[in-house]
Amino acid sequence: MSLNNVRTKPADVRREELMDAALTLFVDQGIAATSIDEIVTAAGVSKGGFYHHFASKDALLIALQDRYIADFLMVMIEAQSALPEDDWRGRMNAWLRTGIENFFKELPIHDVVFHEFAPADRKEMNQNPVVDHMEAFLRAGAEAGAWKADHPRLLAVMLFSALHGACDEAVLSPESIDRDTLVETLQMFFWRAVSADE
């Protein structure tokens, strides 16, 4: 590919290429060991091109977090959309199973962008689109009489935290928590949390 072709790439394509190149390097050798020079070389972009899209390496990492969350949510929405709108239990289970499957599928990426790079920010959960989606889902289910959710936002945060914490525990204890047990246990926990029965 000629330099002219590289220069005429749309800005959003070049931005994605920078993110893809950086992510590969971060997973392979770690964030601290990866320089911006290595990222631009791998992406075939000038250093000035990097700074056109990202103010710093941290800004690029935040963009990678945002992209991970958006992709994660899209997979969950697609799984729910494959079921009838009134199948609330099925859609809840699909949200959970898909979340677990995707967590383990993308584990190396997740660990780099959320554990190796973890800026302290209490707003992280408050501004999480996955939690926003679960809140809306819980609210809609409650309005339809499928379950009880007096505080859907708080419940969404708690359910997301349970999902994430259980997956982390399974990573640390793979010999005692198999994937099916994890799914079934969390599905039972989720359903009890939204049960209309006291």
Secondary structure percentages of the chain, helix, strand, coil, to 5: 75, 0, 25
Per-residue confidence (pLDDT) for residue 26, from 0 to 100: 96
- Domains of the chain with bracketed CATH: 1-54 (1.10.10.60), 62-193 (1.10.357.10)
Per-residue confidence (pLDDT) for residue 119, from 0 to 100: 64
Per-residue confidence (pLDDT) for residue 1, from 0 to 100: 44
Per-residue confidence (pLDDT) for residue 179, from 0 to 100: 85
For the chain, list residues with pLDDT below 70. 1-8, 119-126, 196-198
* ∠ Cα 162 85 135 (to 5°): 35
C-alpha 65/C-alpha 62 separation (Å) is 5
The H or E element containing residue 7 is helix 3-7
C-alpha 116/C-alpha 109 separation (Å) is 10
Reduced to 3 states (helix: H, G, I; strand: E, B; else coil), residue 177 is: coil
Longest Cα–Cα distance of the chain, Å, equals 67
Per-residue confidence (pLDDT) for residue 123, from 0 to 100: 59
> Residues 160, 134: contact at Cβ < 8 Å?
yes
Per-residue confidence (pLDDT) for residue 198, from 0 to 100: 46
Query: What is the value of pTM for the model shown?
Result: 0.86
Q: 96: closest CA among 196, 184, 192, 197?
A: 184
Cα 119 from chain centroid? 16
**Long-range pairs for 158-163: beta carbons < 8 A, 24 or more residues apart:** 158/193, 159/134, 159/190, 159/193, 160/125, 160/128, 160/130, 160/131, 160/134, 161/125, 162/186, 162/189, 162/190, 163/96, 163/99, 163/100, 163/103
Per-residue confidence (pLDDT) for residue 167, from 0 to 100: 92
Looking up tokens 């020079």, which residue turns up?
37
